[in-house]
Structure 1
Amino acid sequence: MSLIQSFRNLSRRTRIGVGVGLLAWGVIGLQLADRAEERYGFTPTEADREALSKMAPKITTVERNQDR
């Protein structure tokens, strides 16, 4: 039995509880990650930002010919 099927076989209240629990876990994780980043000094430097901007894809817009 797949994980989705097992989830669907749960009662409606249990599925809501599992969903709310997963959302709460995600929000708590995001909050704790920010605090841990500040506490342990993992703030990005200017060199890190420059390296990230070099890796980011560049988007170039091209004018479309309207004479079709």
Structure 2
Amino acid sequence: MSLWSTYRSLTPKTRALFGVGVMAWAAIGLWTSPQVESALGMQATKEEQEALDRQMAVRISRAEGDDHKGSQSR
């Protein structure tokens, strides 16, 4: 039996509780990760964080195209 079919065979209430449990586990992980990182000495320096922010920044550029597209010029 596959994992998906096993999940689907659970009662709706059990599936809902499982989903809430997974979301709670993720929330706890997001909430505690800064404390764990600083305790293990893995926290980024300000310079490293700024460099990462520059690399992850979204760059938007305008593509040049035909200005008369869709219009009929005579």
Q: TM-score, normalised by structure 2?
A: 0.66
Q: Cα distance, 1:29 vs. partner?
A: 0.4
Q: Cα distance, 1:4 vs. partner?
A: 1.2
CA RMSD of aligned residues (A): 2.4
Equivalenced residue count is 66
Q: Deviations over 1:9-62 (max 9, x none)?
A: 00111101100100000000000102223444513331x122x22476643222
Secondary structure of the structure 2 residue equivalent to 1:27: helix
Counterpart for residue 19 of structure 1:
19
2 CA distance for matches of 1:21 and 1:67? 55
Gaps of 5+ in 1: none
Greater radius of gyration (CA) = 2
